A and B are shown apart, each in its own frame.
Chain A
Amino acid sequence: MSILVLADLHEGQLAGATASVVAAAQQIIKDSGGDIDVLIAGDNVHAAAEAAAKLDGVSKVRVADNAVYAHQLAEPMGKLLAELAGDYTHVLASASTTGKNVMPRLAALKDVSQISDIISVESADTFKRPIYAGNAIATVKSDDALKVITVRPSAYDGVAESGGAPVEAVDVVVENSQSTFINEALAKSDRPELAGAKVVISGGRGMGNGENFKLLDGIADKLGAAIGASRAAVDAGFVPNDMQVGQTGKIVAPDLYIAVGISGAIQHLAGMKDAKVIVAINKDEEAPIFQVADYGLVADLFEALPEFEQKL
């Protein structure tokens, strides 16, 4: 058993999801043993490689540092992974937009199926994953020689950072004349990353407009929370789409999720119903969100939020 983990990068730095994917890899090798190697691919990624080397359970870090891998475009990344995959029984990545973009390309190049977004490892070839927006959990078994898997990061606590794995260079360089990076518009925020935050407070259509999302700022600051949104709030233009929690947005599983002015549509619940504690603040006492909320407050959010902030 030997596993390659494709590391997630965010602006060239190692993203937190990688520690969760390594935790899933440890589950796979639990019974039989084996190596877990981490692949860092990008342009000028020494810092990310150093950070990955500290993750517990990592055997070695392989670094493909070349301009062709900048921004992890799918075409060169697919070729790189296909070159390296021969040494491994499993290739894992987080179910981030990068993992989702690149991994099916690897799977098809190796003529194997992919298992997306696993939430549990039953054995080295059997995994659980949600289907139908999380309304059913499928157990699937793969008989492919190479298992290509994406891991839902919120389903695993990341491994600790006390290790010191060796770092080695990968000299595979591929050509790419098919795709070119033009630019990126990344949302800037001092708050924790939504997908990894311990506390998330989200607003929905009930917020009324984008300006009113400021009512969440003070509470988020006091709780160290990330701010999310429902699709209704994103579609209405209140907030940018990278804040969306749900089937088509981000999947979160924080300790505390506070849903404000969110009715609780199936697609939104798919993104947050694994939170440990759910609080709903909504003036409609019939809203479906109250059926999953541990604590529900039927109240006008414009009165409840300032009071909540002040009393925290």
Chain B
Amino acid sequence: MKVLVAVKRVIDYNVKIRVKPDNSNVDLTNVKMAMNPFCEIAVEEAVRLKEKGVATEIVAVTIGPKQAQEQLRTALALGADRAIHVETDEQVDSLGAAKAFAKLVEDEQPGLVLLGKQAIDSDNNQAGQMLAALTDLPQGTFASDVNVEGEKVTVTREIDGGLQTIELSLPAIITTDLRLNEPRYAKLPDIMKAKKKPLDVKSADDLGVSFASNVSLVSVEPPAERQGGIKVGSVDELIDKLKNEAKVL
């Protein structure tokens, strides 16, 4: 079974972001970028499926600027067999991304598509679900356990009240939650080998999709600053402050 895994280049999760002074967006110049953490988990799951003999080929795909090929090389070093880069300098929203992925699903006919549940920059949590809708495939979102058995996949999902297990017919779209697995690190020999693995570059035109969106960004602002408070010396003082000053007890 072929597995398609989508990865996104985002700001490194440890970076404290800055909003541009003109409030047009977040400033990404000279900021450390990395693979979205949820996408790393998707790649790891794909590699584990290959190690179990379930997956036969792993195709890593991304949409974004030229530099996003770094993240595809990372996926190749971790165990993906080949990569597809849909190159664009446009802002791509979840619907645009889902349309491009849907075309790749049509071309590649994978048995399973893995995506992260959300990107830590836009925090949208949409692309996997939209891809499932556009391809008319079932979805297993927020997966913390994935088991492929014959023509079915059982997915345990993290839901608000606890866990839910569902069974989907294949092919299916799965989005990963943090607890699905612990991603491995790429070893140096694998990073060297990844440089020789095939990486196809396509454009939106090649796929016949448009990244135009009807949603526009009006402005971006820093959130209201919280005023640092005071330190209290004892439990008694804490209770007194909560009762008489904050009036929350």
> Real complex partners, A and B?
yes
In the complex, what residues of B have CB within 8 A of residue A137's CB?
A: 220-223
- Contact of B26 with A132 in the complex, beta carbons under 8 Å: yes
In the complex, what residues of A have CB within 8 A of residue B134's CB?
A: 108
- Contact of B166 with A179 in the complex, beta carbons under 8 Å: yes
Alpha-carbon distance A97/B120, docked complex (angstroms): 17
- Contact of A312 with B167 in the complex, beta carbons under 8 Å: no
Q: Does A172 sit within 8 A of B, measured CB to CB?
A: no
Supposing A75-B138, A132-B11, A136-B223 touch, asked if A107 and B229 sit within 8 A by C-beta, the answer is: no
Alpha-carbon distance A104/B130, docked complex (angstroms): 5
Alpha-carbon distance A108/B184, docked complex (angstroms): 33
In the complex, what residues of B have CB within 8 A of residue A231's CB?
A: 178
Of A54-62, A208-216, A288-296, the segment with at least 4 beta carbons within 8 Å of chain B is: A288-296
Supposing A113-B94, A134-B223, A183-B165 touch, asked if A295 and B121 sit within 8 A by C-beta, the answer is: no
Return B231 CB to nearest CB of chain A, in Å. Answer: 5
In the complex, what residues of B have CB within 8 A of residue A240's CB?
A: 162
Q: Does A283 sit within 8 A of B, measured CB to CB?
A: no
- Contact of A187 with B248 in the complex, beta carbons under 8 Å: no
- Determine the residue in chain B with the shortest Cβ distance to A139: B218
In the complex, what residues of A have CB within 8 A of residue B98's CB?
A: 108
Chain B facing A: main interface SS? mixed
Q: Does A155 sit within 8 A of B, measured CB to CB?
A: no
Alpha-carbon distance A312/B166, docked complex (angstroms): 44
Of B52-60, B63-71, B237-245, the segment with at least 4 beta carbons within 8 Å of chain A is: B237-245
Which of A132, A179, A184, A242 has the most B CB atoms < 10 Å from its CB? Answer: A132
The interface on chain A, measured as residues whose beta carbon lies within 8 A of the other chain's beta carbons, has a size of 91
- Contact of A135 with B17 in the complex, beta carbons under 8 Å: yes
Alpha-carbon distance A57/B81, docked complex (angstroms): 55
Supposing A112-B95, A141-B216 touch, asked if A296 and B229 sit within 8 A by C-beta, the answer is: yes
Contact of A100 among B93, B125, B217, B230 (CB under 8 A): B125
- Contact of A10 with B161 in the complex, beta carbons under 8 Å: yes
Alpha-carbon distance A14/B80, docked complex (angstroms): 44
- Contact of B178 with A248 in the complex, beta carbons under 8 Å: yes
Q: Does A105 sit within 8 A of B, measured CB to CB?
A: yes
- Contact of B178 with A293 in the complex, beta carbons under 8 Å: no
- Contact of A143 with B120 in the complex, beta carbons under 8 Å: no
> Residues 161-190 of chain B: 1 if any A CB is under 8 Å from the residue's CB, otherwise 0?
111111111001000011100000000000
- Contact of A116 with B123 in the complex, beta carbons under 8 Å: yes
Supposing A242-B161, A279-B242, A312-B249 touch, asked if A135 and B16 sit within 8 A by C-beta, the answer is: yes
Contact of A180 among B95, B167, B179 (CB under 8 A): B167
Q: Does B62 sit within 8 A of A, measured CB to CB?
A: no
Provide a sorted-by-A list of 20 A–B residue pairs whose CB atoms are within 8 angstroms: A74-B129, A75-B139, A97-B157, A100-B129, A101-B129, A102-B129, A105-B133, A126-B218, A138-B218, A179-B139, A183-B165, A185-B163, A256-B249, A266-B16, A278-B229, A292-B226, A295-B241, A297-B231, A297-B234, A312-B249
Chain A interface (Cβ within 8 Å of chain B)?
10-11, 71, 73-75, 78, 96-98, 100-109, 111-117, 126, 130-144, 177-187, 195, 199, 223, 231, 234-235, 240-242, 247-248, 250, 255-256, 266-267, 273, 276-279, 285, 290-299, 304, 307-308, 311-312
The 3 A-B residue pairs whose C-beta atoms are closest, nearest first, are A104-B129, A294-B229, A108-B133
Chain B interface (Cβ within 8 Å of chain A)?
11, 13-14, 16-17, 19, 26, 93-95, 98, 117-118, 120-134, 137-139, 141-142, 144, 154, 157-169, 172, 177-179, 213-223, 226-232, 234-236, 238-239, 241-242, 246, 248-249
- Known contacts A131-B123, A241-B158; 4 further A-B pairs (Cβ under 8 A): A116-B126, A136-B220, A234-B179, A295-B238
